[in-house]
Structure 1
Amino acid sequence: MASSRTPFRNLIFLLRVGAGIFGTAGLGLYIVVFKDVLNDWDSQEAGLTALPIAAGGIILIWSILSAIFMLIRMSHLFLTIGDFFIFIAATVLGVIGFYHDDETYLSTGNANTFSWDNDSSWLQIEEIGAVMLLVAVVHQLLLVLFNFLEYRHVKRAGRRVSLPPYIDYQPAAIEKKDDFELDWQSVVSEKTLPSVVKKPVSAVV
């Protein structure tokens, strides 16, 4: 279970909020872009433009779920693994989608037609959306780093707490040993007793 007081807890929470905000912004902008692309291009050619929408969607969903997991003190290792997979998935989807749009629209001369006409400026919107998703992905990478550091801190703190206190029992053992030797000598030999407690010879029947 995650500790309620850890060095990076507040920073991690702020990074999650930031990732959710930028991911939502990128998601909304790419939805607008995708709608305009479908109006201007065939749906088969515009299909890969939907990949950044998926990237923004998974960042938004994970930001909400991970914030809930933090409130119920889920393991930092679990959150680290989750942040890592979201980082990889969002990066791959975003790169493929943006590369597709760059090769399909920007590098073919169609940018002059669809960027600056009076109907739409969706290419500029896509660039802004890509920047928003990039910032969200950077937030996810920072979350991987700080959650791992948090996990190590909690693990080390748990080891320090679990160690039993050191108690030196050596003086007590020596004392008991001395008592035992004194009792043993008084039992096996009457010579070791003080003279005041020895029985007189006349008292022996």
Structure 2
Amino acid sequence: MAPERRADLSVTNPSWPSTPAEAIAVQEELRGLVDPSDTGEPPRYVAGLDVAYDEDRLAAAVVVLDLETLDEVERAVVHGETTFPYVPGLFAFREVPALLAALEQLGTTPELLVCDGHGLAHPRRFGLACHLGVLTRIPAIGAAKTTFVGSHGELAQERGATAELVDGGEVVGAAVRTQDGVKPVYVSVGHRVSLQTAIDHVLRLTPRYRLPETTRLADRACREGLLDG
């Protein structure tokens, strides 16, 4: 049974940019607000977020799980259209408005956001996980399938092995082996979570598969939502 707690996201709604130059200016302005340390209590309710596309149509999904059991608590899916061009490094500006709308539909406020994308592992150190974390003030992490920036050394084959992801001499995340012998997941800080805690959360969310359960369920929900819409 879902807990009876209404969402109160206190989302900041800045004027949304319409050009790449405006978007980069927003990233430069907001990145100083990122807190890469652990704040607040350990989370109980964890949300996976993802967006599926069909040309200009999109469906954004948020699926909330109980971190203790990994059971689904609630989900929300919203439909819309893209309003920002596809530009590498500015993908958040296509996805954030719809994801915020989905978050606002929830009756349960998640205490951790797990984004199918990057946080600090971004050219301007302000990827999707940072953007959503700063705007919602909810702790957030990135758990991506591939790297965007940076490189890492040799990674052992067993589950739980990690290697620092380094870009320009700066540690921006970690490669994390979530299952024996499978490709790693690339974990980075979004907001109000340390890198080690982000890694711990990702390992907790991957008991059987390479990707976190939050990501797997949100991916399925947004794809199904796109078909239904």
TM bin, normalised by shorter chain, reads under 0.3
Which protein is richer in helix relative to its size? 1
**Structure number with higher relative contact order (C-alpha < 8 Å, ≥ 6 residues apart):** 1
TM-score by length of 1: 0.25
Which protein is richer in strand relative to its size? 2
TM-score by length of 2: 0.23
